[in-house]
Structure 1
Amino acid sequence: MVSTAKAPALTEPSAAASPPPRPGARRPAVRRAATVAATIVRRTVALVAFFAVWEAAPRAGLVDPIFLPPVSEVVPALWDLAAGGQLWSDAETSLARSLSGFGLAIVLAVPLGLLIGWYRPVAELLNPLLELFRNTAAIALLPVFILILGIGETSKVAIVLYACTWPILLNTISAVRNVDPTLVKSARSLGLPAPRIFQKVILPAAVPTVFTGIRLAGATAVLVMIVAEMVGAKEGLGFLINSSQQNFAINDMYAGIIAISALGLLFNHLLVVIERRFTRWRTDIGH
């Protein structure tokens, strides 16, 4: 006898439920966020403390607020100068002068430094002259530049060129002379000619030290330009600071100083980014 009982209906399998997130799944992201926050705190705590002392010292009577106003009074002056356009105009003028002298210094000092560092006869010929001028401060020669080139743009660019040449030149010479001799001997054992050794060994190994000199020259370019603009200039951040001091606009004077610091910080950051771009091979070798 055939059974008439029906087979139980097959039900469709239900969608698999997604597994609950593991307790430790978010820990790497939390750790990264904590690391970033700790880095920001480490890099800003000294700056925050500095501005806090600046704000508190005049208000507590530790210094005369007429000559050192609180930073809360300087920031509005900085904003007014920026809103009126004077700050941007002066910053643009100073930056153009600094970059002109700085760029010329790179074009002249890097090839000359490579030449002096690589060829001993050239070094023996030029070393006495280098020793004479490297110990002469650029600011001390500012009156000479003004007498010879006038008080126009040429003298300002020339003094920046002179000041920036030495850190770039000396670091480039040191970079070439301090290349690992083992690398040079290995290249020679492979039969590479001197021009190829210079291109494939000396230049890549010298790049980090050369950029150290370029970064030092970048800071020098801004500082020397500000001093040059305080003498015989009608615009620029140096002129802004000097004229504000003479007119007893103390808040504007400190606003100009803060603008110079920000400009130098930005300049240095751009040079660091460029340096990382040109020395990326160093991390590639490590991998």
Structure 2
Amino acid sequence: MDSLETSGLPLIPRRSRPLSRYAGLKPGTTTVLQRWLAGWLRRSWLVLVLLSLWEIAPQAGWIDSTFLPPLSDVLAAGWGLALNGQLYDNVTASLFRMLSGFAIAVVLIIPLGLAIGRYARLGEACNQLIEVLRNTAPLALLPVFILLLGIGEVAKVTMVFYSCAWPLLLNTIAAVKQVDPLLIKSGRTMGATPVQLFTRVILPAASPTIFVGIRLASASAVLVLVASEMVGAKAGLGYMIIYDQYSFLIPQMYFGILAITAIGLLLNYTLEAIEGRATRWKAPQGNV
């Protein structure tokens, strides 16, 4: 380099290579990742602050670490559960019960809600029964389900199904009733058959509110599942949490809570993605 400078030859500046070339990524991918990371940090900074406080407070002596261990200890305990297979067994047991009850509710309750919302006479016939059952808390019926169905998988799946049914049913009925009558009138004017009117007008217009019910039902499924596993189960995250509490395995208990939270978030994000694809016709919020 010194010889080039002394010879008077101009130095050609070396163009810097983008980070994506060193990482083996396509050009432009790094920018997309940076934008996604910046957006995620902007939305999640309060969560990161809370997790940082969780780590710092027990170590600084602000909180007794016996009852609230640092986050690093909780994650280390979770890693130990993953290595010995307990985490996998409990997560798979909970996922099977939750997804089974949730899927059965979606398949059976949404068509029922569409029918009740569409046909006024059917709605009048079912209204009183719906009001009585939906105001009966699922957790209050837990002993009844155990007495009738035992402590096996059927009782837990039925509990999840029951808790999911009412958010799904009520939101589906409301979605059908709230469809703009002008849309239905326009469809009839254009010669749409009853089946076409339902599939191409009513169902698309009602789908955003139906998805609200689906997401509420998923939250109810997680809540009721954990409660049912705490009462009568030999596997599952709810069972793991209550067992670790009784055994004073506090880090494992907190990790079980984190695992349930992660499953709930993952299910919610998945449903949001499905909703976005199913309602692509809908204008984004904030647009006029």
Give 1:81's aligned residue: 81
Give 2:193's aligned residue: 193
Give 1:118's aligned residue: 118
The separation in 2 between residues aligned to 1:157 and 1:30, in whole angstroms, is: 44
Give 1:164's aligned residue: 164
The separation in 2 between residues aligned to 1:198 and 1:29, in whole angstroms, is: 42
The separation in 2 between residues aligned to 1:30 and 1:243, in whole angstroms, is: 45
Q: Describe the SS at the equivalent of 1:280.
A: coil
In the TM superposition, 1:1-287 aligns within 5 A as: 35-282=35-282
Q: Using a 3 Å threshold, how does the CA distance of structure 1 residues 154 and 62 change in structure 2: closer, same or farther?
A: same
TM-score, normalised to structure 2's length?
Answer: 0.85
TM-score, normalised to structure 1's length?
Answer: 0.85
Letter matched to residue 85 of structure 2: G
The separation in 2 between residues aligned to 1:64 and 1:181, in whole angstroms, is: 61
The separation in 1 between residues aligned to 2:122 and 2:170, in whole angstroms, is: 14
The separation in 1 between residues aligned to 2:84 and 2:267, in whole angstroms, is: 24
The separation in 2 between residues aligned to 1:36 and 1:252, in whole angstroms, is: 32
The separation in 1 between residues aligned to 2:205 and 2:104, in whole angstroms, is: 23
Residue 185 of structure 1 deviates from its aligned partner by 1.3
The separation in 1 between residues aligned to 2:41 and 2:281, in whole angstroms, is: 30
Q: Which has the larger radius of gyration?
A: 1
Residue 144 of structure 1 deviates from its aligned partner by 0.7
Q: Using a 3 Å threshold, how does the CA distance of structure 1 residues 132 and 53 change in structure 2: closer, same or farther?
A: same
In structure 1, list runs of 5 or more residues that go unmatched: 1-27
Letter matched to residue 172 of structure 1: T
> RMSD between aligned alpha carbons?
2.1
Give 1:6's aligned residue: none
Q: Describe the SS at the equivalent of 1:230.
A: helix
Q: Using a 3 Å threshold, how does the CA distance of structure 1 residues 31 and 82 change in structure 2: closer, same or farther?
A: closer
The separation in 2 between residues aligned to 1:31 and 1:236, in whole angstroms, is: 41
Q: Using a 3 Å threshold, how does the CA distance of structure 1 residues 80 and 177 change in structure 2: closer, same or farther?
A: same
Q: Describe the SS at the equivalent of 2:282.
A: helix
Letter matched to residue 130 of structure 1: I
Q: Using a 3 Å threshold, how does the CA distance of structure 1 residues 91 and 32 change in structure 2: closer, same or farther?
A: closer
In structure 2, list runs of 5 or more residues that go unmatched: 1-27
Residue 264 of structure 1 deviates from its aligned partner by 1.1
Residue 35 of structure 1 deviates from its aligned partner by 4.2
